[in-house]
Amino acid sequence: MNNLIRNTPDGRRVVALSKTGRVLFLFKDLSKIRAQLEGKVSFRMRDVAPSDLLDDINTDAMTPAWVCFRHRPEDIARDAYAGVVDENGQRVFGTNALLGKGFEVIVSGQRKGTGSSRETAPQAEKWCGIELVIAASFAPIHARNNINLGQLMGDYAQLERLQNGAEIPLEEFTKDYDAVTRAILECGGLFPFTARFQSGEVSVEAPRHAPRPMTMAEKILAAHLMTRDEATGHAARYLKPHDACLVKVDGGYSHEFTTAQVHYFLEREYGSGYRVQNPAKFAVFEDHLLYATGVERMRPFQAEIETLRRLQNEFQRHTDVRDYSAKDGISPGICHQVAREHFVDPGDFIQATDSHTCMGGGNNALTWGVGATEYAGLIYSGFTFAKVPESIRFELVGRLRPDCTAKDLILHILATYAVREETLDRVMEFGGPGLSNLSMDERATLCNMATECSARSGICEADAATLEWLAARRSVPRAQIEARFVRPDAGAVYAGGVHKIDLAKLEPMVAKPGDPTFGARIADLPQVDIDIAYAGSCTAGKEHDLDFYAQVLGEALAENRKVADGVQMFIQFGSESVREYARQRGYLDIFQRAGVRVIEPGCGACIGCGPGVSANKEQVTVSAINRNFSGRSGPGKLYLASPLTVAASAVAGHISSFSPGMFKRRKAAVAR
């Protein structure tokens, strides 16, 4: 229960600060944060300019990967905000800096909680005593995690009133939510709400609308409604944005970073004999921490990592969900890649404990990440609560240039639409004639990085390429696959608009260090020498990505070029099937002769837990991963780029876009 919520003598429920409660402002001037933590100074909202507050505080900063090795929230809270560091790399929040210090409210700027879906971030705040989170805007998954934990979110004006001694009616903090979300907050979180729902104290009515054209996300959720229409006995057929729904979940997955906490929550809520629904389409993966032992800063946490593995194995044996554990130290692959290969199907509604779950949208499914609390609830019951999201459509035309990939397209979208928050909490729908020119792996890249856009998810229209790709990986008739295809209705309404993008006009791009939205054309960069080129992750460890790496490195070898002296290049497969694909096509020989270090399937450097991480802040990495928040993949500077650019840069020794024949031309230029 939220301790700031009080009952007045006349029966009203209000929010008020306690007499001794403190407010922590997260300033861009980090010295002001330290001064507050040390009790030297306090601030009032009326004297603070929102522009002075930290924007884009990501969940990696709130709970870095090594903090997530703990599965009990009370232990996670000891190192809340451990990833916030100063210019010298020193932590601003030391161990126990926030815990037990009397802070009830925390305040920041735009887009609070971007990045990974890790629920550990709001857990760290809640178990430190934070009951009210103030920000200009919130990343959608993070906001939902707050709600599921019973954390109130508010704005600057409300905080100013509270600091002036006001008692604010609870409904002012919940009035803009749907009835279900209001009930979750008023009950103190998802588990208390679920108990009341199952006991009949709370009910959920099906939305009722006249026939209307729907987006793909709306159609999929409508098909999964559990609440029945009283008149016909059939599920309601039409939905619109902001409808609160009770929906069936087809499947999902967790990995060793999150499964232990799911298991912990389920045992705490339902006892050691709990069971889950439909285990055949739920899974556990051992993919995130396989290579952590090879990273110096991760070695002190081996005991915690082993505990996470042990608890995941215990959960799998208990529930009989699909088991993608490592065998002889080798993982079957990264969860998002293996899931799309094996069991994410068109029209599915999939939930998993990772923000890149949205990668499944390339399969014409609706998929997004959730926190451990929400996942525990849905895997136990088989259903979840969803608010129908708005959509934004990208109508693709034309064909990408030979030097561009889908990664350049999504970096363009990040730098153009995401920075204006046009994608915020919306489903990014991809279609148009240009989509047919993108492979299924390239479509997966677009959907994978929808979460970098702070979108709810991404989804691609299905076509002949979808059918061919899935038919090669499913043991069901082609007609059965095609019957599941979901397409938007003519006249569907897109709150974020419909945006036409001519693929032929895109140019090679990077995201400069610090944030995926810091996009720039490579042509506009000064020469940026590199130390590391990393090619892998769920975003860039797929079959077509391997084609790109092999194309560039093969051309380099033909001109007696290889990875430049002083540069380390790593290629890591996204799954066992991708590794086999590379072997069959002779790519392993190309990579070996070019001087590349090849790594078995897994996440690794993308989350700072494997070969390819930088060792110091002077090192520069060009990487095909999905996010480049400070410290995520080591202390150095990290540029995001396409697979073509990563491979070309490894050979050139500096960030360089690729063009066919580039090494031959450069050889000729040197000869002259």
Residue 1: pLDDT band with limits 50, 70, 90: low
* pLDDT (0 to 100) of residue 202: 78
SS3 state of residue 534:
strand
How many whole angstroms separate alpha carbon 255 and alpha carbon 89? 29
* pLDDT (0 to 100) of residue 236: 55
| Other CB atoms within 10 A of residue 264 CB | 17
Residue 293 in any domain: the answer is yes
β partners of residue 510: 520, 641
Mean pLDDT over residues 162-168, rounded? 96
**291 and 366 co-located in one domain:** yes
How many whole angstroms separate alpha carbon 179 and alpha carbon 196? 14
Structure tokens at 227: 């609440």
CATH code of residue 397: 3.40.1060.10
How many whole angstroms separate alpha carbon 83 and alpha carbon 598? 30
Residue in the structure block whose two tokens are 């391997």: 546
Residue 60 in any domain: the answer is yes
Each residue's pLDDT tens digit, 547-576: 999 999 999 999 999 999 999 999 999 999
**408 and 353 co-located in one domain:** no
pLDDT above 60: residue 668? no
- Structurally, the chain folds into a number of domains equal to 4
Each residue's pLDDT tens digit, 438-482: 999 999 999 999 999 999 999 999 999 999 999 999 999 999 999
458, 414 contact by CB (below 8 A) = no
* pLDDT (0 to 100) of residue 230: 41
Each residue's pLDDT tens digit, 81-96: 999 999 998 999 999 9
How many whole angstroms separate alpha carbon 404 and alpha carbon 222? 37
Kind and range of the H or E run holding 480? helix 478-482
- DSSP annotation of 575: B
Each residue's pLDDT tens digit, 233-264: 444 589 999 998 889 999 999 999 899 999 99
Look at strands 103-107 and 5-7 and give their pairing.
unpaired
Residue 69 in any domain: the answer is yes
Residue 216 in any domain: the answer is no
**287 and 188 co-located in one domain:** no
**556 and 494 co-located in one domain:** no
How many whole angstroms separate alpha carbon 298 and alpha carbon 613? 11
Range of the domain at 548: 510-671
Q: What angle do CA 599, 603, 609 make, to 5 degrees?
A: 90
* pLDDT (0 to 100) of residue 665: 67
**557 and 498 co-located in one domain:** no
Look at strands 568-572 and 597-599 and give their pairing.
parallel
Residue 208 in any domain: the answer is no
pLDDT above 80: residue 489? yes
**317 and 255 co-located in one domain:** yes
* pLDDT (0 to 100) of residue 226: 81
Residue 192: pLDDT band with limits 50, 70, 90: confident
CATH code of residue 372: 3.30.499.10
Most confident of 196-205, 348-357, 606-615: 348-357
**492 and 588 co-located in one domain:** no
Residue 672: pLDDT band with limits 50, 70, 90: very low
Residue 186 in any domain: the answer is yes
**285 and 413 co-located in one domain:** no
**Which domain-ending residue is among 387, 410, 438?**
387
**407 and 325 co-located in one domain:** no
**72 and 9 co-located in one domain:** yes
Residue 224 in any domain: the answer is no
**Which domain-ending residue is among 464, 481, 507?**
507
Each residue's pLDDT tens digit, 101-130: 999 999 999 999 988 778 999 999 999 999
SS (H, E, C) 59-72: HHHHCCCCHHHCCC
> Which of these, 524, 513, 515, 523, lies nearest to 619 by C-alpha position?
513
Percentage of the chain modeled with pLDDT above 70: 97
CATH code of residue 166: 3.20.19.10
Residue 426 in any domain: the answer is yes
* Contacting residues for 92 by C-beta, under 8 A, at least 6 apart: 30, 33, 34, 37, 81, 84, 85, 86
Widest CA span in the chain: 90
Mean pLDDT over residues 628-641, rounded? 93
**530 and 412 co-located in one domain:** no
Each residue's pLDDT tens digit, 206-236: 788 999 999 999 999 999 998 644 444 444 5
* pLDDT (0 to 100) of residue 232: 45
* pLDDT (0 to 100) of residue 94: 97
**Which domain-ending residue is among 364, 387, 410?**
387
Residue 669: pLDDT band with limits 50, 70, 90: low
**342 and 441 co-located in one domain:** no
Helix, strand counts (H, E) of the chain: 24, 25
* Contacting residues for 3 by C-beta, under 8 A, at least 6 apart: 18, 104, 131
